[in-house]
Amino acid sequence: MVGIIMGSDSDLPIMQEAIDVLESMDIQIEVDIVSAHRTPEKLFDYANNAHKRGVQVIIAGAGGAAHLPGMVASMSPLPVIGVPVKSRNSIDGWDSVLSILQMPGGVPVATVALDGAKNAGILAAQIIGASDKCVLDKIIAYKEGLKLKVEKASERVKK
């Protein structure tokens, strides 16, 4: 199972891309809003207990002062994938990117591109696929589909 959390409901349109990818691969998900600043007790509970519910990977999306992924990573034994989200009060999204990317040694957060929730979903599936052959086969098929898309586009351009 993959846990998908975000700092506010305004992040949902971006995080929906991770939800869609994981659902397309039949990977169970749980989705919630967990604000690092407005609901710190919920954040602590989520980070400390997600693995006890069977969560294998956490995707955490946040904009602005994007502390959510790092705070979760500081408490959880699970891999955390951070999605910087460009929010309306953001400085071109760089504040979110740097808040998630610049983690101290010992507290890793795998960070995808700004608004890159689709890649976060794919990365989470790849992590799970390392030990689940069914998911691995879906990742292999997905990658083959990407290759075929490029080959078809290439053929159209050559004509």
- CA separation (Å) from 129 to 76, 82, 100, 113, 123? 20, 19, 25, 22, 9
Is 88 annotated in some ligand binding site? no
- The four Cα atoms 118, 124, 130, 132 give a dihedral, to 10 degrees, of -100
Is 156 annotated in some ligand binding site? no
Is 76 annotated in some ligand binding site? no
Binding annotation: 8, 11, 38
Q: Which residues are annotated as a binding site for substrate?
A: 8, 11, 38
